[in-house]
Amino acid sequence: MSKWAARILVALVVLTAIGFGGAWMYLRQSLPQIEGSVTVSGISGPVDIVRDADSVTHVFGATKLDTFFGLGYAHAQDRLWQMEFQRRVGMGRLSEVFGAATLPTDRFLRTLGTGRAAHSAWNMLDSQTKVELNAYVAGVNAFISTHHGGQLPLEFTLLRFEPEPWTGPDVLAWVKMMAWDLSKNYSMELLRHDVTAALGPARAADLFLPYPADGLTILSAEDMPRTLSKRGTTEEQIPRSSMAESLSEAFASALDLPSFGSALGSNNWVVDGTMTASGKPLLANDPHLDAQIPSLWYLAHLSAGDFDVIGATLPGAPAVVIGRNKFIAWGETNVMGDVQDLFRERLDASGTHAEFRGAQEPLQVVNETIVVKGAAPVTLAVRISRHGPLISDAINANNAESKKTPKPAPLHPLAFRWTALEATDSTLIAALRVNEARNWSEFTNALRDWVVPAQNFVYADADGHIGYYAPGRFPVRAAGDGSTIAEGWTGDAEWTDWIPFDQLPHTYDPPEHFVVSANEKAVPYANGIGGEWIEPHRAQRIVERLRQKPKLTPDDFGSIQADTFSLHAKALLPLLLGRVRPVDAADAKAVDLLRQWNFDARGDRAAPTGLPGGLTAAERETAGQALPLAWPRSVRSGAAEGGTRPPRHGHQSRSGAAGRGPDRDRG
């Protein structure tokens, strides 16, 4: 190598090192300051923020408001881009920074009105809650106001903008979007419509089986207080929609919404001291929401005198959602309740009035302007009937502009009613008050303000008591159960009231000494709460594990959370294997593997996939294609057609697949 070549090589190495060093120094500016002191205004005294080895952020302050300020500052330090993205989703403002690519998402969300609902909810909050939220918001803004350019997360630099100051409605907008991800009953209404249109009511009913009559429920008749009442449903009184278009296809083509809540089913359970080695209650919760980077959750501890709470928070909001304080602990799973209804509307020729019980009612029109980076603003005239926004307007507009072919046929007017769009939403009030509750009475009084998303709360306290409550705003319908699209002009499916809080599923110190919830049905009879519950295999497995030892420890609870045995597979696989007919050697090899499977769905096992580890790539592909197609269409899931149902125990019904087994559901 010549001297000049060597010199050029050295120069290139030096320049590369300088480039990498400069990039490293630039990017390092955006990392949070975790040592030293920062001077801010808006707090009554020093606030200490300590991040421990387990990545839990501890905020110590002189007052509760100071800790909220500190949490807001820490959230912004660690997750500001996540928070910015989330609030833009909730407010329908993605296109301001991403351009036309996100216009369909903004159009739908502006039509749906999550941002309008967030502002409405903010205006209806009591003064004390606003003070607490404003303390948190001030902490976020203290960080934003002192960090610019390269001091912000890299995403801001790449997209060439800086975040606006945070506001109270921004906090509530994200609460709305979490509710959206955990309240998606509307998609099942669409699917039922399409399947019924294609197959007819009788065959569709075979595919949408009701919750098993003898399936495990969260509460048994013995668990429930006498205040709970039965509420029958009269679904057949509601005329089924006669719409012929494929609704699911139209929605799927038009929507591309970020998902933050849907996932494998969540579990929680609580046992009292009679079942533990310590003689004190134990409570566990594992909410299996979608894995994402950064995580949906942010573990934090807030401490100010008697106010001392630790657990999982959502970046962008101040409350500990799942956790404990000095007196109580609580955990949540999704109720899977039906709190969304679609109404077909009959409009006049002008499209400005909707028929209701023979009369014409004017539609409310709200003008929304979407700012689009690199393009002209888009103005929407959002039409709203008594049943909610006409989301079909957004779906039709998105499909009309889509480059996908063939385009779905335009939808008839469809209005969307959802508890999160009501004028008042006090859910955040409830969450903040739960953080301070000291006993069952204070805990349940706080839950009276819980609106959406409806959750199965399990509870334990330092005095040895345990309990369960399913709070939320559940509609009382004039008729029907909300599982199908209703005809809005008849008035037959109107929401007439909410189920009273005292009549929602709950229990305190149940005689069975434990409560397990895993997205299964709450009670063994009709109580007016419809839902898309999961079959009870997962909950049954948790119950089995709880009963394997007379005295349980935290390590036992950890083992249960990591359990991978699938009762669902145990019930379903014998039915399938009794009917499958291998068509070739690869098929037979896969079936033989399944016959030897012990129903443990660990990640390193081939049997749960039906693909033997010893097969070649070609054989594995053949087996993967052959097995699913070999199952007869008449075979149903669960215990249908003579299969064995999960073994009974003291409760009557519950839900899911063992641990992280094959059953899917939301939250």
Please, which pLDDT band fits residue 646 given cuts at 50, 70 and 90? Answer: very low
For domain 213-240+262-340+425-481+496-561, give its CATH number from 3.60.20.10, 1.20.1250.20, 1.10.10.10, 3.20.20.80. Answer: 3.60.20.10
Task: Please give the Cα distance from 615 to 639 (Å, whole number).
Answer: 31
Sheet order of strands, 282-286 included = 282-286, 267-271, 514-517
Place of tokens 């408001």: 65
**Residue 328: per-residue pLDDT:** 98
Give me the percent of the chain exceeding a pLDDT of 70.
84
> What single-letter amino acid sits at 327?
F
Q: What is the pLDDT of residues 354-387, one digit of tens each?
A: 999 999 999 999 999 999 999 999 999 999 999 9
Q: What is the pLDDT of residues 534-554, one digit of tens each?
A: 889 999 999 999 999 999 999
Sign (positive/negative) of CA torsion 104, 112, 91, 335?
A: negative
Closest CA to 354 of 240, 487, 478: 487
* Four-point Cα dihedral 395, 398, 402, 405, nearest 10: 10
Task: Please give the Cα distance from 172 to 180 (Å, whole number).
Answer: 12
Task: Please give the Cα distance from 210 to 567 (Å, whole number).
Answer: 19
Q: Is the pLDDT of residue 138 over 60?
A: yes
Closest CA to 121 of 332, 388, 419: 419
- The per-residue pLDDT of the chain, averaged, comes to 86
User: Where are the domain boundaries for CATH 3.60.20.10 in the chain?
Assistant: 213-240+262-340+425-481+496-561
- Residues counted in the chain: 667
Q: What is the pLDDT of residues 87-122, one digit of tens each?
A: 999 999 999 999 999 999 999 999 999 999 999 999
Q: Residue 104: is the preceding peptide bond cis (ω within 30°)?
A: no
Q: What's the distance, CA 521 to chain centroid?
A: 17
Q: What is the pLDDT of residues 35-73, one digit of tens each?
A: 889 999 999 999 999 999 999 999 999 999 999 999 999
**Residue 45: per-residue pLDDT:** 95
In whole angstroms, how large is the CA radius of gyration of the chain? Answer: 27
Task: Please give the Cα distance from 211 to 215 (Å, whole number).
Answer: 7
Task: Please give the Cα distance from 94 to 664 (Å, whole number).
Answer: 29
- End-to-end CA distance of the chain: give it in Å, rounded: 64
What average pLDDT score do residues 546-575 get?
95
358 class by beta-carbon count within 10 Å (0-12 exposed, 13-18 middle, 19+ buried):
exposed
Residue 472 DSSP one-character state: S
Task: Please give the Cα distance from 594 to 607 (Å, whole number).
Answer: 5
**Residue 154: per-residue pLDDT:** 94
CB-based contacts of 503: which residues, under 8 Å, 6+ apart? Answer: 227, 228, 229, 527
Task: Say which residue, 371 or 578, is predicted with more confidence.
Answer: 371
Q: In b/e form, how buried is each residue of 36-46, taking b as 16+ CB within 10 angstroms?
A: eeeebebbeee
